[in-house]
Structure formats: structure tokens, C-alpha cells
Amino acid sequence: MTAEDELPDAAPAQRMTVRGAVFLGVGGMVGAGIFALLGQAGEVAGAAVWISFLLSGLIATALGYVLVKLGVRYPSSGGPVAYLIQAFGNGRTVGIIGWLGYFATIVVVTSMVALSFGDYAAKAIGQDGSEAWVKIFAAAIVVLTAVLNASGARLVDRSQTAIVVGLIAVFLVFIVATLPNLDPHLLDPSGYPSVRQIVGSVAITFFSFLGFAVITFTAGQLKKPARELPLAMYLALGITALLYVSISLSVFGTLTVPEVIHYGPTAIAEAARPTLGDAGYAAMSIAALLATSSSVLATLYAAPGFTGALAEVGQFPPVFGPSSRLGRHGGLAITAALAIVLSLFFTLGVVVSIGSAISLGIFLLVAVAALKLRGEIHAHVTLILAAIAACGVALAVFIVDTLWGDARAFWTTVGMIAAAVVLDAAWKRKSNTGVHETAPQVS
């Protein structure tokens, strides 16, 4: 299906506005990283984390251009899956990437962010350190956001708008209060690590931008995707990048690098204390709850479109699709259940760089698909090549750094890729599904 100026009318509950798409993207990005990753990024990039966020934002913007061009030409609720099928056919490449992307960028991300929500929620009721309460709240937010997603795009639109408006308001108060009181010595470039280390940290900070891809899943629900999808993508990326750079400057200009690393997920709240006192700490804790809940909502929003598109073309079992015996929300229900189960076993620090690296690899392949389809999507080759180069450099640095500095992360990444290959082969053998070289129509 190609994009016309305006798509046919859809049921009101299934229609998404530009505002909703923007806030869906902002919510998906902000909750996924800024609270949880500052300490980890600081271990690698020191006080230069703001540069790392800026570089990650530029990579995300280049990829956003590619995804917008593909989304306008092939509007689909299946997002990147639809674009890979158009470029490479409905074969093993799409199957392997489908399993890998599903687990690494949807299930794992949902479970990790849900755990972050649970951690803040447990602290809010005075149960700091209670693993049981963290797990209970993590499961609760997954169930609640799954129900909201099952209720339709319009409710997701309104819910996400309310959450993100509140989140941005709190962040603006924090930024306005802290930026004028920064300690310039803490941000002195003479104390920054090497360029290689800063670039290497992109494999961590890019994780904070992963939510931008969810915007492409709205293409099939926007009234005029050719006009509205680019606007939503660039607004969401611009707002998020500005927030990330400002917040990282505020935090690392208030706390020392060792302090940021020590405080970890609560570093932003601690950075609010000097100027805003305990009220500032409480406000940033509320912001953390808003950010993580909006990220879970946005990530689960992508799940049914992603799994449904793969089930429709035979790459995933039918139970993941709209005709599932579990009902039309089968893919959403399975994803929510898996995320809850994984939240019992996963910790954020173990898989952040792995998920980010796998996502970079997938986006690199999507950019290659755009290069192959450049005549159909009317995209500038220079910008596509820039996206490929940016992803390639960041991924190469990650591979080198992890191979020598964190072999466990490197081999876990290899293991996940191997598992995706095995899952794809097992499903095709069980279902006796052939490998189709032609690209079916998607919608």
C-alpha cells in the first residue's frame, strides 16, 4: 500500500493525531533512558555525557529521516518490519530480524522500564529496597498500559498526551532552576575522557532514543501520513534531544561524576536538591514515575503492530496476530506476559548496551533497505548514507569496546542473534513455511 495524501477514514478509536504521535514518541524515548542511564553513561563518558546524547540524537535524526521516507511510502502499523519486507522480501532475513527485534527492543525494553517504574513506586510508599514491591508495581504498570493500548489509539493518544505534558512541565522547572547554578569546573572539557570513549558511550545513550521508532507505527493511523508523520518524527526527536542535553548538563554541572555514578537512577532527583530542596527531589521522583509509565505505554503500543505484521506474512505464529485464538489483542497480551516474566529475572545494567547495539544493527539494516528502495521513497542518497555511516561507526566502536572490555556483553549479543536464527528456523520447520522472495503488500 502506498501513501496517499489522506488515508481512508478509520474508526475514531483507531485514529491517531499528530499531537498524540509526538507525545507517544517523546514518552517512549524519555522514559527508556534518561533516569536509568545517566550513571552508566557517566562511567564511560564522564561529564561529557551531554555530547554523547547529542551524538545519539543526530544518529536518531538521520534514522528518523529514513524511517519517515519509508513510512510515508509504505504506511503500516507494522513499522520497520514492513520496510524490510519491501526491500528484502519475506524471507529468512526478515524472520531473524523480527525475532531479534521483538525480544531486544520490545519485550526486554518493556520489562526493564517497568522495573524502573517499580523501583520509584516502591520508594514512594516507603518500601525502598523491597524487591517484592518493585516486582508488584512493575507487573501492575505493564497490565495497566496493556489495557489502555487494547482500548484503542485514541485513548493512548489522550493518555500519553496528559502524561508527557506533566513530565515536560516538571523537567522544565528542574532545568530552569539548575542551569543558572551550574559549577563550570564540573563541566570543564579538560576533564573529559577521550573521543573514542565518548563515541563508545553512544552505544549506551542511543538506548534513550529507541522510542523514536514507535512513531512509524502510527503511520497507518494518521489521517495524512505524508504530512503528519515527518512533523511528528522531527518534533519528537527535537524535544527529546533538547531535554536530554539540558538535563545532562544540569546533572553533571551539579554533581561530580562519581556522585552521578553512585546515585544511578536517582541522580536527577539528587541534582534537584541543592536548588529545589526535598520538594525538588519529590518532583523528580514523580517525573520518573511519569516517564517510565509513558515509556511502557509507548513500547507496548508498538507490540501488536509489530507482531501482527510478522504473523500476517507467516514469520511469526498466528497466535501473535489479530486472528489469534487469544483474540485480536493476542500479540499485545503475549508481549505483556513475557515482559512481566522477564522483569523477575533481568536487571537494567546487564542488557542496556546489548539492546542498544542490537537496535543499532537493526536500524542499520533498515537504512540499507532505504538505500535499496531510494528510487521509490524519493530520499536523498547522501542522508541515507549518513545514517548508515553513523550507525556503522557507533556499532563498530561498541563491538571493539565490548569485545575487549566487557566480553560478557559481546557474547550475550552474539547469543541473542544465534537464538533468533534458531527460533526462525524452528518456526519455519514447524509451520512448513517457505521463504518468499517477493515482497507482499502491507498496510
| 320-348 pLDDT tens trace | 887 777 877 888 899 999 989 888 775 55
pLDDT of residue 433: 58
Residues 350 and 370 sit within 8 Å (Cβ to Cβ): no
Reading the block at residue 304, the C-alpha cell is: 501488536
* Residue from 159, 135, 186, 112 nearest 356 by CA: 112
pLDDT of residue 352: 60
Lowest mean pLDDT of 30-39, 205-214, 354-363, name the range: 30-39
Q: d(Cα 324, Cα 198) in Å, to the nearest integer?
A: 46
Instruction: Delimit the domains of the chain by residue range.
Output: 14-428
Lowest mean pLDDT of 14-18, 268-272, 286-290, 313-317, name the range: 14-18
Residues 68 and 378 sit within 8 Å (Cβ to Cβ): no
Q: d(Cα 192, Cα 182) in Å, to the nearest integer?
A: 17
Per-position DSSP letters for 415-441, written without gaps between them: HHHHHHHHHHHHHHHHHT-----SPPP
Q: d(Cα 321, Cα 116) in Å, to the nearest integer?
A: 29
> For the range 182-185, what are the long-range contacts, defined as Cβ-Cβ under 8 Å and sequence gap of 24 or more?
182/249, 182/250, 182/253, 182/254, 183/253, 183/254, 184/253
- When computed from its CA atoms, the radius of gyration of the chain, rounded to whole angstroms, is 21
Q: d(Cα 242, Cα 154) in Å, to the nearest integer?
A: 27
- Amino acid in the structure at residue 418: A
pLDDT digits (tens, 9 = 90+) for 401-427: 666 666 766 777 788 888 889 988 888
Q: d(Cα 29, Cα 103) in Å, to the nearest integer?
A: 18
Superfamily of domain 14-428: Amino acid/polyamine transporter I (1.20.1740.10)
- Amino acid in the structure at residue 356: S
Beta bridge partners of 16: 222
Q: What is the mean pLDDT of residues 6-23?
A: 64
Q: What is the mean pLDDT of residues 78-84?
A: 78
Q: d(Cα 344, Cα 139) in Å, to the nearest integer?
A: 9
CB atoms within 10 A of CB 143: 15
Residues 424 and 95 sit within 8 Å (Cβ to Cβ): yes
Return the residue matching grid coordinates 520518573: 288
